[in-house]
Amino acid sequence: MDAILGAIVPALLELLTPTHLAMLGLGVVFGLVIGVLPGLGGIAGLSLILPFTFDLDPSLALAMMVGMLAPLHTADTFPAILMGIPGTSSAQATVVDGFPLARKGEAARALSAAFSASLIGGLFGALVLSVAIFGAQSVILAMGFGELMMLTVFALSMVGMLTGSSALKGVATCGIGVLIGTIGGAPATGEFRLTLGTVYLSDGIYLVIMGLGLFALPEIIELLRRRSTISDTGKLGSGWLQGLRDTIKYRWLVLRCSALGCIIGALPGLGGSVADWITYGHVVQSSKDKSQFGKGDIRGVIAPEAANNAITGGAMIPTLLFGIPGSGSMAILLGGFIMIGIQPGPSMVSTNADITFLIIWSLALANVVGAAACFMIARPVSHLTVVPYGLIGPAMIVVIFFGAFQATRGWADFFALLAVGLLGIYMKRFGWPRPALLIGFVLSNGLESSFYRVAQVYGWSFLERPIVLVIVALTLLSIAAAWRSRAKVAFHGDAAVGPPLHLRLPQIGFTLLIAAFVVMVIVEGLQTSYLGRIFPLTAGLITMGLVAWVLFNQLRPRMTLDLTDQEATSPDTVHGNAYFLTWLFGFLGAVALIGFPIAATIFIFVLSSVQTTVSKWISAAVAFGVFTLLLTLSYFLVLDYPNGLIEEFLDLPWWLG
Amino acid sequence: MSNRSLLKGIVVAGGVAAMSATAGMAQDVSFEGQRVEAIVPFGEGGGGDTYTRFIVRHLAPHLAGEPTIVVRNIPGGGSVNGANWFGQNAERDGTHIAVASTSTTLTYAMTPDDDRIAFNASDWVAFLASPQGRVVYVNSSTGITSLEELAGYEGDLFMGIQSPTGSDLPSLLSLALLDAPITPVFGTSGGDQHLAFERGEFGINADVASAYIQMAQPLVDRGVAVPLFAFGYADENGNIQRDPNFPDLPSFVEAYEIVHGETPSGPGFEAWKSMFFMGVMASKAMVLPDGVSEDVVVAYGAATEAMLEDPEFQAEAAAFIGNYPQLTGDAARESLRQATTISDEARQWVADWLMESYNIEL
């Protein structure tokens, strides 16, 4: 043990040499750029820098790789708060309160709180890694199938906190998320469910597309309709110190959420994309005044940001100890370890402890450097929120199409994004909570396969395991808390009468469409084998009951919380959703004709010229900037954008489509 | 067997022809200033991706004209998406290569009627085939120490299987032929298999050699795991010998003899042999598309030979491809051909067995 502890200081001294610092810094710059771009995360970042690491000394390569991973979840906060676009999948929960804060003109405060919480989360993650890695082996091995299944159920119970005003709709939405998650190969039999005969759907819908479609696309279209700036006040706010004060004020929340993030990252099976939602659920649950969540509560930013930076430290634990990656980016990091000659395993805490400490120090230092860099560029970047949105929106549409394209790098990604975006737009309009859908979706697969495993290996005897019982108790507490905190709104007098039937027809129609999807899942489920259908059928029947209940409430003449139609309450816009959806279809048509980069450039120029009164030259400059960005990314990521018909007549270079 | 000796003749003759051709013709093709794309039909970070990145990095300097080789990942559909892309869009001039691994060959050979498949893997021209052994081991808590005890085991013997129709199928089939009374737990990925095995929830597991050495060997050293057999390795005659990396472990054929007292035969064994080529002998292969010109094939063949001789390559190879002899030229093509073909009778046998044992459709 002395020999191991003796490795701490030399590892730090090694990292503090100029070459190591330079490599770490390079990694951090990479990480910041990758984090800001939606659709690109740790996987893309690592595969970009892997080729450079081959010829490096292993410790230099490590500093660079870890340096890239550490600031990802600090940088992904920029688009989440400023644009409502999750920069990586772990920033989805940040959008829920971060973006409303930017709309209220408090972007500066939100960013500064997020970065400081991120910094603490990241440092905490590194600290936990350095202590826990010596005892984590037995803890990870104590978490069997039963424990992992109950953890998934516990995570699912957080949905109770993410339901919005109507609890019934929230739980129904979660069920729909679970059903969407069953699309693709059945874990137990490999049968394809609801794939409509396509290769694309056989892997299910990709998380990046769900995130961008549900959150980013609806927000962009709403902002375009308003023809204003992101900040409603047109001001930035001078909240830098306020944000720091927020983090200090909620210091225990920051530490709790960092710890949660670390644990979730370290446990195989749950995955980092759940951590931000679990901590978001936690902060809502543990707060007395819940009225501002979803409308711009700073705690809703602090909690997921503290967690998502701590994940990286936690996720390193199984990667280093067992050689088993807990996430996609850890898988490629593991590949990188092997390429530079590091064999993960128990030796990482004995003979190779020096490497482990080098990783830990790199993680800590990269978090500090990354957060500092974000603070420095935050002020100029947040000016985007006071620029007319007609100028930014079209470019953002192209950027999220680019992000969605990273899923499989094919045309189908565009269609999937449009389909999910359409769902998101109407869920938003009719008050179906999108976070609830996402948490159901993310947990669906894990729930199904862990359910089979427990049934096969343990049967009911899994309830005899003590850790399972602890998690069961936590889950019951979480559900009870959700039950107690649900909004008790009673309608009296005139308010008790709902809008007339013809005004309700749009939302009733949407509910019917959802019901049709559920029926489709059930009918399709009947055609698969027993093991392939038991889960979607069970979830489908429960969801059907909930949706039918919503429908019943919507049909009755009384006013209920299940009735929401934003169009009916805020019609003060020039164009409707359909107008902008037509633009999107037009864009895809143009891509089919002239290829993605050129079509994107023209789309940005034309739409921003129509939407704003600023000089055509500025629109052209924005369009050209995005064009350059697309080509640069295409070159370095070896992306082949969709070709247009023009390719048939002109021999364009590959990076131009 | 006459087929096999004929085959051997072709392999030897082909090898000689390829070598003599190398000297004269390799100069004809040059990739100078060109960019070669290596298609990986998986996402970044998996086994197929790591393998391809390793190979192309060492291959590029030996190819005529020293082109840049970049990796392009086209994930989706358990490799069907990327393989379809390669089958339909690959340039036939040597600027597109791809990796074919067990999931690709297995899907292609076992489900020929699947209309999602729009590629023809048996026509691809392999210029390198990298065998990768497989080892089956049990948890010492089961008390099993030998193959006989495995076949006669009473009690639950759980085994994690990713997908009944995926790359774990060869392991599942091997154990069925050995009458091992296992209960497969489907939908369990590789990482989860190892953790559950170490926790004692699963009693038996199978690994490809590289994963075995990295993750299971430490357990064997600690007395937690007991290796029972390795699949084996095919010699030039197509006979299954012991795996050169695990000379102390019986091959599958020996294991079968130990359990049943006779040499394996029949459609079940025919199916096993096909899967042995899919899972072991052509576990991973680098390929050119069909219809590529002979000059290009020769250029890639020469570059591959040179790469295998390169001391830099050899120094790093163990971590990525294990210490297996690499197949090149006609031997590589033959290995891929074997891995992409299975007789209708053997395929039907597998389909019936999966349906009967697990109620699963191939």
A382 pLDDT above the threshold of 90? no
What's the confidence (pLDDT) of residue B5?
41
> Which helix (H) or strand (E) covers residue B284, if one does?
strand B284-288
Q: Residue B202: its chain A contacts at CB < 8 A?
A: 457
Tell whether B61 is within 8 A of chain A (Cβ): no
How do strand B96-101 and strand B35-40 relate by DSSP bridges? parallel
Edge-first strand order for the sheet with B284-288 is B68-73, B35-40, B96-101, B284-288, B125-130, B327-328
Q: How many residues does chain A have?
A: 657
How far apart CA A128 and CA A131 sit, in angstroms, is: 5
User: To 10 degrees, the CA torsion angle through A649, B98, B55, A27?
Assistant: 60
Find, among A295, A293, A268, the residue nearest to A279 by Cα.
A293
CB within 8 Å of A647: residues ≥ 6 apart: A595, A657
> Is the predicted pLDDT of residue B163 greater than 80, yes or no?
yes
Select from B182, B195, B355 the residue whose CB has the most chain A CBs within 10 Å, as the one to mutate to test that interface: B195
- Out of A331, A408, A456, the one facing B81 most closely (by C-beta) is A408
Tokens in use for A354?
């020096």
Q: CA neighbours within 13 Å on the CB side: how many for B69?
A: 25
Per the structure block, which two tokens stand in for A429?
């309009």
Specify whether the CB–CB gap between A329 and A43 falls below 8 A: yes
Give the pLDDT confidence of A437-462 residue by residue, as tens digits: 998 998 898 899 889 999 999 999 99
**pLDDT tens readout for residues A546-585:** 999 999 999 988 888 888 888 776 656 678 888 999 999 9
Q: What is the DSSP annotation of B316-356? A: HHHHHHTTPPPEEHHHHHHHHHHHH---HHHHHHHHHHHHH
Counting Cα atoms < 13 Å in the Cβ hemisphere of A378 gives 31
Cβ-contact A261, A129 below 8 angstroms? no
Question: Which single residue is written with the structure tokens 């019936």?
Answer: B352
Interchain CB contacts (distance < 8 Å): A and B: 149
Beta strands at B35-40 and B68-73: parallel, antiparallel or unpaired: parallel
Q: Calculate mean pLDDT across residues A596-607.
A: 95
What pLDDT is attached to residue A490? 65
Between CA A354 and CA A374 the distance in angstroms is 30
Report CA-CA distances (Å) from A373 to A31, A112, B360: 11, 12, 54
Mean per-residue pLDDT, B218-237: 94
Q: Where are the alpha helices (DSSP H) in chain B?
A: 2-25, 47-59, 80-89, 102-110, 147-151, 169-177, 190-199, 209-211, 217-221, 252-260, 266-276, 294-309, 311-321, 329-340, 344-358
Better-scored residue on pLDDT, A7 or A590:
A590
Give the model's pLDDT for residue A637.
Answer: 80
Q: What pLDDT was estimated at residue B144?
A: 96
Residue A49: band (very low, low, confident or very high) from pLDDT cuts 50, 70, 90: confident
* pLDDT interval class at A236 (50, 70, 90): low
According to the model, what pLDDT value does residue B21 have? 43
Residue A486 pLDDT grade (very low, low, confident, very high; cuts 50, 70, 90)? low
Chain A contact set for B142 (CB, 8 A): none
Q: Does B71 touch chain A (CB under 8 A)?
A: yes
What are the b/e assignments for B20-37, b being 16+ CB within 10 Å?
ebbeebbeebebeeeebb
Give percent of chain A with pLDDT exceeding 90: 47
Nearest residue in chain B measured CA to CA from A146: B201
> How far is Cα of residue B112 from the mean position of the Cα atoms in its chain?
19
More confident residue, A326 or B216: B216
Asked if the C-beta of B199 comes within 8 angstroms of chain A's C-beta atoms, the answer is yes
Which pLDDT value is given to residue A488? 61
The neighbour count for residue A377, using CB atoms within 10 Å, is: 13
Phi, psi of B225 (to 5 degrees): -120, 150
Per the CB < 8 A criterion, the answer to whether B272 and B173 are in contact is yes
The answer to which of A426-430, A557-561, A607-611, B67-71 has the lowest mean pLDDT is: A557-561
Q: What mean pLDDT, rounded, does chain A reach?
A: 88
Q: Read out DSSP for A457-468?
A: HTGGGGGGSHHH
CB–CB contact B214 A531 (8 Å): no
How much is the pLDDT for A2? 64
pLDDT at A130 over 70: yes
Among B110-114, B299-303, B350-354, the range scoring the smallest mean pLDDT is B110-114
Chain A contact present for B81, CB below 8 A: yes
Find chain A residues with C-beta within 8 A of B360's C-beta: 189-190, 529
> Closest to B158 (Cβ–Cβ): which among A43, A269, A456?
A456
Q: Decide if B201 and A46 are in contact by the 8 Å CB cutoff.
A: no
pLDDT (0 to 100) of residue B4? 41
Query: Which residues, including other chains, have CB under 8 Å from residue A505's CB and lie 6 or more apart?
Result: none
d(CA A605, CA A599): 10
- CB contact, 8 Å: B193 with chain A? no
Q: B161 — phi, psi (to 5°)?
A: -130, 130
Q: What is the mean pLDDT of residues A606-622?
A: 91
DSSP A89: G
Asked if B53 is an interface residue toward chain A (Cβ–Cβ < 8 A), one would say yes
> Distance (Å, rounded) from C-alpha B327 to C-alpha A628?
44
Residue of chain A minimizing CA distance to B80? A199
Instruction: Please name the residue of chain A whose CA is at the shortest distance from the CA of residue B79.
Output: A199
Tokens for A323, please give them. Answer: 């050689």
Contact A325 B218 (CB under 8 A): no
Least confident of A31-35, A123-127, B5-9: B5-9
- Cβ-Cβ contacts under 8 Å for B23 (sequence gap 6 or more): none
Give, to the nearest 10 degrees, the angle between helix B344-358 and helix B102-110: 100
Confidence at residue A323, expressed as pLDDT on a 0 to 100 scale: 80
**A218 Cβ contact list (under 8 Å, min separation 6):** A421, A424, A425, A427, A428
Decide if B123 contacts B162 (C-beta within 8 A): no
- B190: nearest CA in chain A? A324
Total number of residues shown for chain B: 362
Q: Which amino acid is at B157?
A: L
Q: Alpha carbon of A548 to those of A367, A393, A501, A561: distances in Å?
A: 49, 37, 17, 15
Cβ of B54 within 8 Å of Cβ of A189? The answer is no
Q: How confident is the model at residue A51 (pLDDT cuts 50, 70, 90)?
A: confident
Q: Residue B24: pLDDT above 60?
A: no
Residue A281 contacts by C-beta under 8 Å, 6 or more apart in sequence?
A158, A159, A160, A161, A162, A478
Binary contact (A199, B81; C-beta < 8 A): yes
Assess B301–A contact: CB distance below 8 Å, yes or no: no
pLDDT at position B19 over 70: no
Number of neighbours of residue B17 by Cβ within 10 angstroms: 13
How many whole angstroms from its chain centre is CA B350? 19
Higher pLDDT, B242 or A50: B242
Q: Tell me the chain B residues in contact with residue A141 when contact means C-beta distances shorter than 8 Å.
A: 195, 198-199
pLDDT band at B286 (very low <50, low <70, confident <90, very high): very high
Tokens found for residue A632: 């640069």
Q: Of A218-227, A317-326, A341-350, B167-176, which has the strongest mean pLDDT?
A: B167-176
Three-state DSSP class for residue B208: strand
Q: Decide if A40 contacts A75 (C-beta within 8 A).
A: no
B107 to chain A, any CB pair closer than 8 A? The answer is: no
Q: How far apart, in whole angstroms, are the C-alpha atoms of residue A482 and residue A433? A: 15
Are B194 and A345 an interchain contact pair (Cβ–Cβ within 8 Å)? no
In chain B, residues with a C-beta closer than 8 Å to the C-beta of A342 are none
Q: Which tens digit of pLDDT belongs to each residue from B95-113?
A: 999 999 999 999 999 998 8
- Look at residue B245 in the predicted model and tell me its pLDDT: 93
With 60 as the cut, is the pLDDT of residue B7 above it? no
Name the DSSP letter for residue A267.
Answer: S
Maximum pairwise Cα distance, chain A: 77
Check: CB of residue A279 under 8 Å from CB of residue A260. yes
Fill in the amino acid letter for A587: F
Whether the predicted pLDDT of B255 surpasses 80: yes
Q: Do B76 and A200 touch (CB under 8 A)?
A: yes
Please judge whether B201 and A144 are an interchain contact, meaning their C-beta atoms are less than 8 angstroms apart: yes
Give A-chain residues touching B163 at CB under 8 angstroms.
185, 187, 190
Mean pLDDT value across residues A415-431:
94
Confidence of residue B18 (pLDDT cuts 50, 70, 90): very low
Residue of chain A whose Cα is closest to the Cα of B70? A638
Quote ipTM for the complex.
Answer: 0.87
Among the partner-chain residues A47, A189, A331, the one whose CB lies closest to the CB of B186 is A189
For residue A388, give the 3-state DSSP assignment: strand
| A652 phi/psi in degrees, rounded to 5 | -85, 150
Contact yes or no for B185 and A408 at CB 8 A: no
Which of B39, B42, B44 to mutate against chain A (most A CBs within 10 Å)?
B44
CA A451-A199-A215 angle, to 5 degrees, is 70
Domain boundaries, chain A: 2-454, 577-656
Distances (CA, A) of B244 to B233, B250, B325: 7, 11, 9
Domains of chain B, CATH where assigned: 2-131+282-344 (3.40.190.150), 134-278 (3.40.190.10)
